[in-house]
Amino acid sequence: MFGTTLLAAGTSGAVLIELGAVLLVLAVLGRLAARADLPSIPLYLVAGLLLGEGSAIPLDASTEFIRIGADLGVVLLLLLLGLEYQPEELTAGLRANWKAGLVDLLSSFTPGYLAGVILGWSQPAAVLLGGITYISSSGIIAKLLGDLDRLGNRETPVILSILVIEDIVMAVFLPLTGVLLVGASPLEGGLSIAVALLVVALAFVIALKWSRPLSRVLHSRSPELLLLTVLGLTLLVAGLAEEVQVSAAVGAFLLGVMLSGQIAERGRELLLPIRDVFGGLFFVFFGLQIDPGTLAPALVPALVLAVLTAATKSGTGWWAAKRAGIGVPGRKRAAVSLIPRGEFSIVIAGVGMAAGVEPDLGPTAASYVLTLAIVGSLAMRFVHGRGRGSKRPAIARSAP
């Protein structure tokens, strides 16, 4: 018994040492990213690659804890994204920009899907690759819009409306891929998609009609009680969403949309540091699952896809801004602002890796996200100035 206690203590010590080292590495990389005016996501992915399979310094004892932290990280990432949006603003943005959202879906999903087919991947893997190339990084884009003082620009509401449409598409896409991955019958697949659509519709009805009363009931002046309430409700909703095949991430996003007013403002302030910590673990965990030696073969298709989909995203942003009556400088900014990929692309790749649908999916996604997160961020920083804005659009009060 004494020997067992010593063994448990040794294991616990190893977990703490490894976790401490990982968090310190993330802190150093975050500082480097800030100095270089780059998003931290690519560097966190690189950290995971260096610490994962086939690396000289693999993590063993703390992998399970990091996995749980990664699950929490993606839930918090999407919760805070949802908290950025008011229901009325969402519906107005969707009405004005649904055509641009449709063009975005067709032009950016198709190259990824066709690439998967050409590479000889299975249908589920090809669909997942299409999703990876389709979804832009709301987190990176919103953060850079705030950092570059572009939240008041005329093109910004157009950009954010397209991002919201993408997030809503994910609420249907993820359950659909779940059906494909388990090989369900057409009836089971139809039921799963119907449930997903019903949940999304219900969430929007609640958001539009009862958002303020719900927020008043949940609000507390005590930071401790407010944090416990929002975090507990988020995990509960995310878990229930996962049970009905809607995805925990989408469930967290929809909950964020439902909350408004003071609880949304204070919730962002309280949860932001927690999100950044566990969000970092999420990207590290994804990198941990990939052998760096598998990246080289995946680099060529990833770069080809990066060029193609950067072009399709830019075209969509330019066209959407032109439809809104925005001048050429604003169109340029809108065009490059949709290029970065990040959190949701990694979420989709993680689903495929967990199901084991295609060994090359993870390395291809990692190379693709690394490329466009860096290139897109640099393009946003250096394209044609920052423009002029009279006020910050209501749809984006603070960047995650």
The residues, any chain, with a CB within 8 Å of residue 28's CB and separated by 6 or more, are none
Q: pLDDT tens digits for 380-398?
A: 888 865 444 434 444 433 3
Locate the domains of the chain by residue range: 64-382
pLDDT at 311 over 60: yes
Distance CA 400, CA 381 (A): 17
User: Beta-carbon neighbour count of residue 185 at 10 Å?
Assistant: 9
pLDDT at 275 over 50: yes
Span between the terminal Cα atoms of the chain, in Å: 48
8 A C-beta contact, residue 351 and residue 128: yes
- Please list the residues that pair with 153 across neighbouring strands: 389
Distance CA 41, CA 279 (A): 9
Mean pLDDT of 209-215: 80
Query: Whole-model pTM?
Result: 0.76
Phi-psi region of 71 (alpha: psi -120 to 50; beta: other; left: phi over 0): alpha
How far is CA 218 from its chain centroid? 26
Residue 222 DSSP symbol: S
pLDDT at 22 over 90: no
Could you give the percent of the chain with pLDDT greater than 90? 20
Q: What is the CA radius of gyration of the chain?
A: 21
Mean pLDDT of 332-339: 94
Using DSSP, state whether 153 is helix, strand or coil.
strand
According to CATH, the topology of domain 64-382 is Na+/H+ antiporter like fold (1.20.1530)
**Total number of residues shown for the chain:** 400
pLDDT at 9 over 70: no
Could you give the percent of the chain with pLDDT greater than 70? 84
